[in-house]
């Protein structure tokens, strides 16, 4: 085993050659609830147990970040934790691990399927009274959000995914009239009011990259014009601040959406320029070429350059926000014919940019 090598992207079970990340930890005996808290964290990121106090994930950048967050929390609770990469395991052990991942996710999808079936039974063929319809719609949205969350940790395409998704689609059609979410991406039932977030201090992780720069710009431009920004390794590092793009907070990645897209959706910010910036940030932050816009590579290079030039985090964030202000003005004033670029099938792109998130 070696300590923290360059992460790799996991492949499908039939093509699986990637290494694994292991989190090995010890917790103090008291208080007893920290064991439950740690187990829930590990469950939420999709990790499965090898032995007591040893958990595994396919080696990927997201998995490394997730394990590092959990390691930090364990150490803060006076425990011990280490993250390792296992480059080689015997085939039988790897098969057993993949099977454990599939069983865990199959159970998750099974719970959603059963809940969706219960909701469908409550819906009669006739007209539904509006209050009941709204209640069912909210429950359906929660199930859809949970389904999307499980997709992000379904590393080996476990059985039951399509069946649960099909039942949610059926729920959407039956409820109709925009009450339930359509498609397979989670959306918020209500738009947040910017009045609730005025004159706040917003906190994020040090060394901001493309998602944090663009999100801070969006906050300052459209949500909280008097916003101030700070930096902390964990959300509780600045208890009175509003955290964003940090693990386990309200304004962060959701499903296959980056933090910028989450903020746009939560606050109902709409314009063609904002949509295009969201597509650029999405592809850079998630290392995809789903939208493949011509500006994406240039923006990525500029963000990387700013990170090399500025060692002070506040100055780095300020310069990044200026970059996105310039990009926004350019796009907002572009002629309609210039606003090209369509959505492509998502596929991973290998970029040379580092630390862009």
User: What pTM was estimated for this model as a whole?
Assistant: 0.48
Residues near 41 by Cβ (< 8 Å), separated by ≥ 6? 69, 70, 73
Confidence band (pLDDT; 50, 70, 90) for 201? very high
Q: Are residues 218 and 297 in the same domain?
A: yes
Q: Would the pLDDT of 100 be above 60?
A: yes
One domain for residues 255 and 146: no
Q: Tell how strand 228-231 and strand 54-58 pair up.
A: unpaired
Instruction: Assess contact for 84 and 3: CB atoms under 8 A.
Output: yes
Share of the chain above pLDDT 70, in %: 80
Domain coverage including residue 239: 194-338
Largest CA distance in the chain: 65
Is 109 in the same domain as 148? Answer: yes
Same domain, 85 and 107: no
pLDDT score for 202? 97
Q: Would residue 181 count as lying in a domain?
A: no
Coil, strand or helix at 352: coil
Q: What is the pLDDT of residue 323?
A: 97
Indicate whether 137 and 223 sit together in one domain.
no
Instruction: Give pLDDT tens digits for 11-38.
Output: 344 444 448 999 999 999 888 788 888 9
Over residues 202-224, mean pLDDT: 96
Among 148, 143, 152, smallest CA distance to 171 is for: 143
Task: Kindly state whether residues 115 and 74 are assigned to the same domain.
Answer: no
Model confidence at 125: pLDDT above 60: no
The domain total for the chain is 3
Q: Quick check: is 110 in a domain?
A: yes
Confidence of residue 179 (pLDDT cuts 50, 70, 90): very low
pLDDT of 141 strictly over 90: no
pLDDT at 216: 98
Contact between 165 and 154 under an 8 Å Cβ cutoff? The reply is no
Residues 163 and 278 in one domain: no
Is pLDDT of 296 > 90?
Answer: yes
**Are 165 and 198 members of one domain?**
no
Residue 321 lies in a domain: yes
pLDDT at 217: 97
* pLDDT interval class at 166 (50, 70, 90): confident
* pLDDT at res. 168: 86
Contact partners, residue 128, CB within 8 Å, separation at least 6: 136, 175
What pLDDT band is residue 176 in, cutting at 50, 70 and 90?
A: low
User: Which CATH number covers residue 25?
Assistant: 3.30.70.240
Is residue 13 reached through a cis peptide bond, with omega within 30 degrees of 0 on the bond before it?
Answer: no
Using an 8 Å Cβ cutoff, are 288 and 348 in contact? yes
35 and 116 housed in the same domain = no
Better-scored residue on pLDDT, 127 or 253: 253
- Order across the sheet with 80-86: list the strands: 48-51, 54-58, 20-26, 80-86
Q: What are phi and psi of 254, to 5 degrees?
A: -135, 115
How is residue 327 written in tokens?
Answer: 């990009």
Work out the pLDDT band at 124, boundaries 50, 70, 90: low
SS3 40: helix
Alpha helices per DSSP H over the chain? 33-44, 61-76, 91-122, 130-152, 161-175, 210-218, 259-266, 272-285, 296-309, 313-332
Whether residues 72 and 115 fall in one domain: no
**For the residues 88-101, what does the mean pLDDT come to?**
87
- Asked if residue 48 and residue 146 are part of one domain, the reply reads no
Q: What percent of the chain has pLDDT over 90?
A: 46
For 257-283, write each residue's pLDDT tens digit. 999 999 999 988 888 899 999 999 999
In a domain, 95, yes or no: no
Question: Does 162 lie in the same domain as 200?
Answer: no
Lowest mean pLDDT among 132-141, 163-172, 330-339: 330-339
């Amino acid at each position: 085993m070696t300590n923290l090598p360059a992460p790799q992207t996991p492949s499908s079970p039939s093509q699986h050659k990637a290494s694994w990340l292991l989190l090995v930890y010890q917790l103090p005996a008291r208080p007893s609830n920290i064991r439950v808290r740690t187990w829930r964290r590990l469950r939420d990121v999709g990790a499965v147990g090898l032995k007591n106090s040893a958990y595994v994930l396919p080696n990927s950048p997201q998995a490394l970040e997730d394990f590092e967050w959990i390691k930090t929390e364990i150490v803060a609770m006076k425990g011990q934790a280490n993250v390792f990469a296992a480059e080689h395991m015997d085939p039988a052990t790897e098969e057993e691990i993949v099977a454990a991942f599939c069983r865990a996710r199959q159970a998750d999808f099974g719970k959603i399927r059963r809940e969706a079936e219960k909701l469908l039974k409550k819906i009669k063929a006739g007209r539904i009274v509006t209050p009941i319809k709204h209640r069912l719609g909210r429950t359906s949205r929660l199930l859809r959000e949970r389904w999307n969350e499980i997709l992000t940790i379904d590393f080996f395409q476990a059985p039951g995914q399509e069946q649960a998704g099909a039942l949610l689609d059926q729920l959407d059609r039956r409820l109709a009239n925009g009450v339930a979410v359509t498609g397979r991406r989670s959306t918020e039932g209500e738009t947040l009011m910017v009045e609730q977030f005025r004159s706040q201090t917003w906190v994020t992780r040090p060394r901001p990259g493309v998602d944090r720069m663009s999100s801070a710009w969006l906050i300052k431009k459209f949500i909280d014009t008097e916003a101030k920004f700070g930096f902390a390794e964990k959300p509780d590092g600045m208890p009175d601040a509003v955290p964003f793009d940090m693990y386990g907070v309200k304004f962060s990645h959701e499903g296959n959406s980056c933090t910028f897209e989450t903020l746009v959706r939560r606050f109902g910010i709409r314009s063609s320029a904002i949509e295009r910036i969201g597509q650029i940030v999405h592809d850079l932050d998630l290392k995809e070429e789903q939208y493949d816009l011509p500006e994406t590579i240039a923006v990525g290079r500029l963000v990387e350059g700013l990170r090399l030039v500025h060692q002070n985090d506040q100055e780095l964030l300020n310069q990044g926000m200026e970059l996105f202000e310039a990009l926004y003005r350019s796009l907002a004033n572009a002629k309609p014919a210039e606003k090209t670029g369509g959505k492509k099938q998502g596929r991973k792109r290998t970029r040379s940019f580092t630390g862009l998130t």
